[in-house]
Amino acid sequence: MKKPVIKCKIKEMKTLYVHIPFCGQKCFYCSFVVAVGQERAIDRYLDCLAREMLSYRLEEIKTVYVGGGTPTLLSAGQLCRLCGLICEHFRFRPGIEWTVEANPEGLTAEKLTVMKAAGVNRISLGVQTLNDKYLRYLGRNHDARSAQDAYRRIRDAGYTNVSIDMMLSFPGQTGGEIKEDARLLIRLHSDHFSLYTLSVEENSRFYTRNIAQNNGRGQARHYQWACAILRDGGYAQYEVSNFARPSKAAEHNLNYWQGGQYIGLGVGAHSYLGSIRSWNVSRLQEYFTRIEQGKPAQDGSETLTPYDQMKESLLFGLRMNLGVELEALAGRYGCFPSDAQMQKIDDFVRSGFLVRSGSFLRASARGRMVLDELCAQLV
């Protein structure tokens, strides 16, 4: 394959991520640092977010994503305040994609109405499965019925863009159970699906219990079954883990995969501005202390060279079904993959893991199954 030389620009975007670390209880598979049973600290946390936002005053943003944790653990009044802070401190055009992650428990009509009035137009609902046996196994705080009820409340509140998280490949889960679950979830008629296989990570309850996740081959088979059902249900895959109805791909996440810029606020949040990636402290008490003492919440940073940025954009871009345009990367960063990397890319194309499609390079269906391995070899 020849090295790309055509100069062209990828559209730059800056997005806003706000992290809410509070959860009602910790799911058994969760390895994140979450604040459980600390609802009394939420107002203090919002005070700190407000102070952190001051340094970005009136920055223009393209999408908003409030993630967690469980943002909808906040009361309606607290959600109203959070949305107000975002509107007050950032500039954005009306109607930009504004997502809030929600869990079924405690997702009241009042909270949904308050968020919608403030500009939230997309809800990402953590359902995971509609099989009560596996919801209990995962340590989720809801059952299938309450997840379906929460979904209906979201639609009743007028949201026209709803995503559902689905998890699969639990130890002992049969093919029939996976297919049945996918079919039941499709019947909810959401606009978007994020699909994950269970992985057992350090810092999770499953890890301390020595729960063994399914092997890679089993996970790949389960994932392919679910993918096929989602595709038959009218969802187009646009990224390794994400499926959408037409025009409902998540703009916020596309920005990450396209190497776009982002602002992250809150405990543990990451930012990527210019060539600098930075991250906030990951402990809640330290976050409070830093902000309340007038210090930045930032815990560290690294400067990426144009070559680092190009390489990351290449690897992230391969996660998308569209793939990545090498010429555009060359135009954007002023450099392109090394001779050794181009050789590797050619090898992967010849062996059917990567595909040249016009000016784009993308992973084949087979390549997506082993994408982490391909990327590790390309680094």
Q: How far apart are CA 306 and CA 279, in angstroms?
A: 20
Least distance from ligand SF4 to the Cβ atom of residue 156, Å = 23
Closest CA to 216 of 60, 63, 368: 368
**CB of 27: closest distance to ligand SF4 in angstroms?**
3
| Residues that bind ligand SF4 in the complex, under the rule CB under 6 A | 23, 26-27, 30, 32, 34, 68-70, 103, 126
Angle between helices 306-317 and 371-378 (to 10 degrees): 160
Find the shortest distance in angstroms from Cβ 42 to ligand SF4.
Answer: 14
Q: For ligand SF4, which is the closer residue by CB, 250 or 310? A: 250
**Beta-sheet strands, E only, within the chain:** 14-20, 22-23, 35-36, 59-60, 63-68, 90-91, 98-102, 122-128, 162-168, 192-197, 236-239, 242-244, 261-265, 270-273, 276-280, 298-303, 324-325, 354-357, 360-363
User: Cα separation of 90 and 93, whole Å?
Assistant: 10
Nearer to ligand SF4, 32 or 207 (CB): 32
Residue nearest to ligand SF4 (CB): 30
Q: For ligand SF4, give the closer residue by CB, 125 or 249.
A: 125
- Give the shortest CB-200-to-ligand SF4 separation in angstroms: 13
Give the shortest CB-275-to-ligand SF4 separation in angstroms: 30
Nearer to ligand SF4, 73 or 188 (CB): 73
Q: Which two tokens stand for residue 6?
A: 């055509």
CB 25 within 8 A of CB 139: yes
Residue 198 vs 226, nearer CB to ligand SF4:
198
